[in-house]
Amino acid sequence: MAIIKSNSEIASAIWRMTVSGTPLGRAGQFFMLRVPGALDPLLGRPISICEIDAELGETTFVYQTVGRGTAQFARLLPGQEIEAQGPYGNGFPLKAGRAVLIGGGIGTAPMLQLAKELHASDPTRMIDVYLGFREEAYLEKSFEQYADSVTRNIGGYVVNDVDFSLDATYYACGPAPMLRAAASAADEASANLFVSLEKHMACGVGACLGCTCQTEHGRKRVCKDGPVFDYREVRDAI
């Protein structure tokens, strides 16, 4: 059980919740968050880690209110408890050298912790961040402390802004059309790209088989074997 320290709307329907207690984990992993004792909706919601402050023992989640479950989260107040099961999933691999991070919409959230870990593991590495939003930007400023450049795109196609010909590792999280565009661009440039996938899931631990996807190496569970994959492996699942 985690205690909510803060929970506020940072953009339209985008909320930032910081909790203390159980969570932590690493970039690209997620927690199943659930209002304690709730029977309706019953299931937890997979929410990725946005930022970890290990010193304070605090974990921040940024989530979009899309349905009744996330709407319940938005009503929680500081001091209240929230169930946080996890950390689940594999997380992003921290590859050596230059890194390019591409986040679209709420997919920008896991990119922040990724930028933080990449920077911490090698403060000299170049980190370029590209963020795409439909109407309104958020989290943008938080990236500046870790990144060499932060490029934002509102209302357009963020992937078009990215140079895929660099000697770098590319990481992307966002809506399926964005990931497909990134995959095509990576194909053309023979770039190394890791994508974080999102699928409906019930359990988060690999038991319900709700999030199975077909990959080059057979069936994989987005929650347990992912959510981060080499894009070549999951090309047909994006």
C-beta of 125 vs 199, nearer to other proteins: 199
What is the DSSP-derived secondary structure letter of residue 11? E
The Cα–Cα gap between 5 and 20 comes to: 7
Residue 34 touching other proteins (CB under 8 A):
yes
C-beta of 20 vs 70, nearer to other proteins: 70
The Cα–Cα gap between 192 and 196 comes to: 14
- Which residue among 10, 96, 120, 207 contacts other proteins (CB under 8 A)? 207
Residue 24 touching other proteins (CB under 8 A):
no
* Main-chain dihedrals φ then ψ at residue 55, nearest 5 degrees: -65, -45
Residue 201 touching other proteins (CB under 8 A):
yes
Question: Minimum CB separation from other proteins for residue 72, in Å?
Answer: 12
* Residue 123, token pair as written in the block: 């403060």
The Cα–Cα gap between 159 and 169 comes to: 15
Cα radius of gyration (the chain):
17
C-beta of 62 vs 201, nearer to other proteins: 201
The Cα–Cα gap between 208 and 27 comes to: 24
Residue 43 touching other proteins (CB under 8 A):
yes
Residue 175 touching other proteins (CB under 8 A):
no
* Main-chain dihedrals φ then ψ at residue 219, nearest 5 degrees: -75, 135
How many residues sit close enough to other proteins to count as binding (CB under 8 A)? 26
CA angle 142, 144, 147 (to 5 degrees): 120
C-beta of 88 vs 130, nearer to other proteins: 88
The Cα–Cα gap between 96 and 151 comes to: 22
- Site map 59..98 versus other proteins, x via CB under 8 A: --------x-x-------------x-x-------------
Question: Minimum CB separation from other proteins for residue 124, in Å?
Answer: 36
Residue 10's Cβ-count burial label (10 Å; 0-12, 13-18, 19+) is exposed
- Which residue among 62, 203, 228, 234 contacts other proteins (CB under 8 A)? 203
The span of 89-97, 146-154, 171-179, 195-203 binding other proteins (CB under 8 A) equals 195-203
What 3-state class would DSSP assign to 158?
Answer: helix
- Which residue among 119, 220, 224, 235 contacts other proteins (CB under 8 A)? 224
Residues that bind other proteins (CB under 8 A): 34, 39-44, 67, 69, 83, 85, 200-203, 205-212, 214, 219, 224
